[in-house]
Amino acid sequence: MAQQKEIYDYLRSVDCCRVCCLRFLKGTKEEFVDIDAALQKVGSGKKPLDQENGEHKAKKLKENVCIACLGLFDLDRIATLACEVKEHAAYQQYRCEAGFLTSISLPIVLHLRQLALWFDVVDRFPQTFFPGTPPDIAVKDALKMIIIHQLERTLEKPFSVDGVMVNVPYTYANEEEELRTLEQVSPGVFANRKANKHTKKEFISRNAFEKHFTPSMINGDRFRKHYAVPPVSSEEVGLVRGELSFTGPTIFLAGRYNKFSRELSQTPWMIDGKRKMAGSVQETIGASIAPHFGVSDEQLIFSSSGREDVDVRCLGEGRPFVLEIVDAKTDQLPEDVAIRMEQEVGTSQTVAIRDIQLVKREDLVHIRHGEEDKRKFYRALCVTAEPVTEEMVRKLRIDEPFVMQQVTPLRVLHRRTLLARPRTVYSVKAFACRDNPHAMVVDIVSQAGTYIKELVHSDFGRTGPSFRSIIGAEIDIHALDVMAIDLDWPKKLRR
């Protein structure tokens, strides 16, 4: 306890603020919430300004800015931050039950000042501080402990990684001037950074500072020659807090969609910057969902379990999809709102959605991984050059799985790598059409990623075996429907 008191008194004597003293005393989260009580334990409770750092000191009208945090821990200013957040018009547009989190941007010069104090306290208190171990609780960690506690009380909401992000930026006018001294301390570090074309344009990054500038990595005498140990400050120049900003949570809405049109792409179809079709499944769905979350439909990120061609319908239970919604203004989806969204999409007559619900990021593994292990169920209307015979139908009734090789189809070669891909067909079942002697309906169960049209007509022999090679006659596909997708996700709600 006596050693802690000695450390506290010394740090105060060189113009460290009380919070930074507590950082060097390695205060706990609870102690940063009640700083006065924490410092009283070491006999260093708050005193009147004219008594602090010794009764013999003349009373100051204004203290210098803290040499360690440059005024960051001005508790009066921090106290107003929570109220400012609550009353901020930009914050009030969010309706998120999860709570909030913070993103605090601090200048790198604070690391330089920590380094100078690190050298100082290692020399003065060698039994407590060591060159290889940071001497304090990190500035940002301490600030978050204080700010989060105040925000929780003021906003009456918990800290949560799924909440609204409160962005708090700080700058320091003299940062570049102070950091330039590092070139004299370790010139090799900056020569390597200038030679590396991948290095950012900033003078030095936070990671580079932490890697190259510690008491065990640099020459202490050279550092002292170019930078004050302990660091110094004045009452005029300190950190300046920038404008508060807010970012809503990224949430994920999952569901299933049906596509009933043979003239609708899944996502906006653009070639050379020009639209090929008026709409898309993505835009039809997004137009009904985006307004509730306070975003434009262009901000939605659409993904699904595979995709169908423009002229292919998706029937049955539908295709699982996910919308990633960045900066959502709400994280809630009431049941009545979900029902209204489903009904509104249904009025398009081209797309329907069902089972829409909010899911967690980790649930996306269902849709993003193991795609080739899934099975897809198709129904194809095929036409033949010759009249359909019983022998053709018999040959296209295959119960045993078989593997075919598909070279990238000609129709997608402009956007797919030229490869030969093995694909498994699990079953084929053909039925002749009574009213058309040149047509048959074929039900196909295949591995996801199979090009069904090429499976039918062989793509000039690039797919084999194909229906054409199996029946020994010309055959093509007239219409194709996706009937089912072997993915029991998201949860079926049966509204």
Mean per-residue pLDDT, 92-111: 97
Range with the poorest average pLDDT among 63-72, 91-100, 424-433: 63-72
Q: Give the model's confidence band at 466: pLDDT under 50 very low, under 70 low, under 90 confident, else very high.
A: very high
> Which pLDDT does position 194 carry in this prediction?
61
> Which pLDDT does position 272 carry in this prediction?
83
- pLDDT of 200 > 70? The answer is no
> Which pLDDT does position 190 carry in this prediction?
80
Please write down the HEC assignment for all residues of the chain.
CHHHHHHHHHHHHCCCCHHHHHHHCCCCHHHHHCHHHHHHHCCCCCCCCCCCCCCCCCCCCCCCCCCCCCCCCCHHHHHHHHHHHHHCHHHHCCECCCCEEEEEECCCHHHHHHHHHHHHHHHHCCCCCECCECCCCCHHHHHHHHHHHHHHHHHCCCECCCCEEEEEEEECCCHHHHHCCHHHHCHHHHHHHHHCCCCCCCCCCHHHHHHHCCCCCCCHHHHHHHCCCCCCCCCCCCCEECCCEEECCCEEEEEEEEECCCCCECCCCEECCEECCCCEHHHHHHHHHHHHHCCCHHHCEEEECCCCCCCEEEEEEEEEEEEEECCCCECCCCHHHHHHHHHHHHCCCCEEEEEEEEECHHHHHHHHCCHHHCEEEEEEEEEECCCCCHHHHHHCEECCCEEEEEECCHHHCCCCCCCEEEEEEEEEEEEECCCCCCEEEEEEEEECCCCHHHHHHCCCCCEECCHHHHHCCCEEEEEEEEEEECCCCCCCCCC
Mean per-residue pLDDT, 386-415: 96
Average pLDDT, the chain: 92
pLDDT in tens, 10-66: 999 999 999 999 999 999 999 999 999 999 988 765 554 344 444 434 444 457 899
- pLDDT of 221 > 80? The answer is yes
The domain made up of 374-485 has a fold known as Alpha-Beta Plaits (3.30.70)
- pLDDT of 170 > 50? The answer is yes
Mean per-residue pLDDT, 375-390: 97
Q: Give the model's confidence band at 2: pLDDT under 50 very low, under 70 low, under 90 confident, else very high.
A: confident
> Which pLDDT does position 52 carry in this prediction?
45
> Which pLDDT does position 96 carry in this prediction?
96
Residues of the chain with CATH 3.30.70.3190: 374-485
> Which pLDDT does position 55 carry in this prediction?
43
Mean per-residue pLDDT, 178-193: 85
> Which pLDDT does position 82 carry in this prediction?
94
> Which pLDDT does position 46 carry in this prediction?
54
From 9, 162, 297, 309, active-site residue: 309
Mean per-residue pLDDT, 214-223: 94
Reported pTM? 0.86
Mean per-residue pLDDT, 232-247: 90
> Which pLDDT does position 371 carry in this prediction?
75
Residues of the chain with CATH 3.30.70.2510: 250-371
pLDDT in tens, 106-136: 999 999 999 999 999 999 999 999 999 999 9
Mean per-residue pLDDT, 461-486: 97
36 is catalytic: no
CATH architecture of 250-371: 2-Layer Sandwich (3.30)
- pLDDT of 164 > 70? The answer is yes
